[in-house]
Each structure stands twice: as C-alpha cells, then as structure tokens.
Amino acid sequence: MSRSSMLGDAFETSYVPLQTALRAAGVGGLSVDYQRQNSTPLIMSIEKVTGADSLNLTAILRTALSADNPASVPRPAPPQNRRIGMMTHEQTVGAHEDLAYALAQAQLHGLTLETQQTVWHGQVVHIRNLREGQARDLATLLVGGLADHYAAASDLHAALHHRGLNADEIMPAIAVRDLRIPLGEITLPTAMALGTALGATPYLTRVDLDDYHVGTALYHRLTSAIQAVDPGLVDMLHHPTCGKCLHIATVELNSLTLPAATALTDALRQGQP
C-alpha cells in the first residue's frame, strides 16, 4: 500500500470520526499537522480550545469514563453551551487544567497542551501531537459521553415515525451538533401534520399551500403547538413561497436542546391514538 493510501485510510478512520465527535460537542479546530503531513502515522491538533470548550469536553469525557468505572469517576453535570464572557480568567485556566487531567484519566498520554492568550476568547489551549489511535479513542469517548444526546435524537426520530410523520424530513439525520439535536427544513404539509400530531386543531377543508397567508397561518399554528409543549422549545423560521427563485414554502426548525428533544418526544408519545 502506498504512503498516500495509508494517509487516506488514516484520515477516514481517525480524523473524520474525531471531527464529527468534536462538532457534536461544539468544538471545532481539528487540523492535520501539515509540517508532518507526509509522515505515518497521521498527527493532528485541536486548535483554540476555549475555556467553555474545556468545560464541556471535560464533562463529556468524565461522563464516558464514569460509565466504565462509576466508582472512581463521579458522573458530572451534563455539558451545556456557555458564553465565553461569563468565565473569569481564573475559571478559564481551571477549566483547561481540568481538561488536561481528564485527558490523562482517559489514558491519552503524550499530548502537548499549549496555552495562548487571545483578544476575543481569553486564554485558549491547543491540543497537539494527537496520533491516529488517540484520535479514534477520543472520538469513541466523546460519542459515549454524549450517549444521552444520541439516544434522545433516536427516540425523537422513532416517535415521529410512529406517529406517521415524515421523520426523515423533520430530522434529516440522527445526529448531535453543538450539544444540540438538529432538525430540518420542512414543507408546509409536514408542518401541518406535525402541528396536528402535537394537538393543534385539524384542518377540515383543503387549503392552498402556495398562499402566503395560509403558509403564515400554518407556521403560527405549529409554533403554538410546539410552545404548548414547552415555551421556547424550538426556534423556527418561515420561508414563504418565492415565484422568482421557485422556492416552495417551508418552515426551518433549527435544533433542540436535550431536555427539549425529550419533551417533544414525550408529547408525541402521549398524543398517540
């Protein structure tokens, strides 16, 4: 096997899974060490890990480790999106130190953690010298630490499908992004059906779905039905039909927090005929 083929395989089996897991945790910045890109094994770095990133990564890692050894690693509070401005310098430094300790607990030894002071994000840390096997192990731990999120996404998809809704349109993928469960952009017939499934009064007559006012009414109907489950449950946008660009009317559902996804799943299950 050629060196380029080996690097390509390493990219698919280590870089891609870790990138997906980091995105689920709300962390970006994964890169290949291009100074050593022709080397084998592949060497990676996670750049500009903020204090909030460190808090979340530590919580996720400890959750994964506690599942394997609950006696030695207490289960932490669930990770959540945090605003950088809410953390003091001392809290940020402490968060980075906790992350370093969690990585050591995970047996990810030999990593280099370099700190840097930035204008917008305060102190950040760069995690360097991450090798292929470590990248795969870290990806596995992150996915395991977010098991509740992935389970909630799967449960919601199943509940939508069981109610006869277009689950694949409402949830194009069973995934986690930025510690949230992403939803899709749905057509007005799907918005109508979802609203009805959540308890909105059914339409008894046919309506013109290309009519702007009908689309707006369906959007507000779905918004009310979802907010009846939990106020502020989901942030939605209405995109009306556009004759110039031939865009049909849709409702963009954006994403859900873990509690919101659970609440929506429960509402769908409770409303089953």
For residues 228-249, give the mean pLDDT. 72
pTM: 0.86
Question: Are residues 94 and 102 in contact, defined by beta-carbon separation less than 8 angstroms?
Answer: no
pLDDT of residue 243: 57
88-92, 138-142, 157-161, 167-171: range with lowest mean pLDDT = 88-92
For residues 64-92, give the mean pLDDT. 66
For residues 14-28, give the mean pLDDT. 95
Is the pLDDT at 175 greater than 50? The verdict is: yes
Residue 33 vs residue 89, higher pLDDT: 89
Is the pLDDT at 72 greater than 90? The verdict is: no
Residue 71 vs residue 56, higher pLDDT: 56
Please report which confidence band the pLDDT of residue 69 belongs to, taking 50, 70 and 90 as the band edges.
low
For residues 109-130, give the mean pLDDT. 93
DSSP the chain: --HHHHHHHHIIIIIHHHHHHHHHTT---EEE-GGGTTSSS-EEEEEEE-HHHHHHHHHHHHHHHHHH-TTTS---PPP----GGGS-HHHHHHHHHHHHHHHHHTT-TT-EEEEEEETTTEEEEEEEEEEHHHHHHHHHHHHHHTHHHHHHHHHHHHHHHHTT--HHHH-SSS--BTTBEE--EEEHHHHHHHHHHTTPPPP-S---TTSHHHHHHHHHHHHHHHHHHSTT----EEE--BTTTTBPPEEE--EE-HHHHHHHHHHHHHT--
pLDDT of residue 2: 44
Task: Calculate the CA 7 to chain-centre distance.
Answer: 28
Task: Calculate the CA 172 to chain-centre distance.
Answer: 13
Is the pLDDT at 25 greater than 80? The verdict is: yes
Please report which confidence band the pLDDT of residue 38 belongs to, taking 50, 70 and 90 as the band edges.
low
Short-list 22, 263, 20, 227, CA closest to 155: 263
Is the pLDDT at 237 greater than 70? The verdict is: yes
Q: Which residues contact 66 (CB under 8 A, 6 or more apart)?
A: 73, 74, 75, 76
Which of 34-38, 63-67, 239-243 has the highest mean predicted lDDT (pLDDT)?
A: 63-67
